């Protein structure tokens, strides 16, 4: 299931700017604009530096990411989460949200999250381990068949993130039909905290986006996880 991506060069309205902080497959930008919000690379620049994983040096030795499981996909999700949610993990909320949810995200349902979003317009709403913002969250939840009553548990968040991995070509990569570097490039198109080989975010400079992980660590992590 491949998607065609494009990027917006002009960001309009403060409400739109506020949402430029999260996951965005580039093909969704037009839809997000119509809904009054954009989502820029997995979590983007408004996520405060103290909240994000520290930027490793280019000579840093890869350390296996913390994972809720042992499969390669589990480890890949953990690697992405290091760049996106930092120490907050599944309970991460974008730091720019002036009005935060009443409960930690993992104690909320999707309906609770939607209600919080609707009640607090004009601020960022990136939430969870993968910093979903409203259009992305609603889309991947619909694909998974998760209704408003679904708890936003770690398992649910992981399942939602796998939809985005598939957008990047996970199945093709696992089948040997996609080169690892192409897959990594696609991942960087979705999560702005991940770097390109030059060390910069695919969305470098858009709404403050920058990579929060070095290429050496990203590349080393992928090699360690997949053995290629």
The rounded Cα 46 to chain-centroid distance in angstroms is 13
Q: Which residues of the chain have pLDDT under 50?
A: 1-67
pLDDT of residue 56: 33
pLDDT of residue 67: 44
CA-based nearest residue to 11, from 38, 46, 45, 48: 38
pLDDT per residue as tens digits for the range 149-184: 999 999 999 999 999 999 999 999 999 999 999 999
Q: Is the full-model pTM beyond 0.75?
A: no
pLDDT per residue as tens digits for the range 29-46: 333 322 222 233 333 332
Q: How far apart are CA 27 and CA 8, in angstroms?
A: 10
């Amino acid at each position: 299931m491949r998607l065609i991506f494009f990027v917006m060069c002009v960001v309009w309205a403060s409400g739109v700017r506020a949402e430029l902080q999260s996951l965005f497959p580039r093909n969704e930008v037009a839809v997000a604009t119509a809904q009054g919000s954009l989502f820029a690379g997995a979590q983007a620049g408004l996520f405060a530096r103290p909240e994000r994983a520290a930027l490793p040096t280019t000579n840093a030795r890869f350390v296996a990411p913390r994972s809720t499981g042992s499969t390669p996909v589990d480890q890949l999700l953990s690697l992405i989460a290091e760049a996106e949610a930092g120490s907050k993990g599944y309970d991460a909320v974008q730091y720019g949200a002036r009005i935060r949810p009443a409960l930690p995200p993992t104690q909320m349902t999707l309906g609770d999250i939607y209600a919080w979003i609707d009640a607090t317009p004009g601020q960022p709403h990136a939430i969870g381990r993968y910093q979903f913002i409203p259009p992305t969250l609603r889309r991947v939840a619909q694909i998974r068949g998760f209704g408003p009553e679904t708890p936003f548990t770690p398992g649910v968040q992981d399942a939602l993130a796998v939809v985005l991995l598939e957008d990047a070509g996970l199945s093709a990569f696992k089948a040997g039909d996609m080169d690892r570097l192409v897959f990594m490039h696609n991942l960087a198109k979705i999560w702005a905290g991940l770097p390109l080989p030059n060390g910069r975010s695919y969305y470098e400079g858009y709404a403050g986006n920058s990579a929060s992980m070095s290429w050496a660590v990203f590349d080393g992590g992928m090699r360690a996880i997949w053995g290629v």
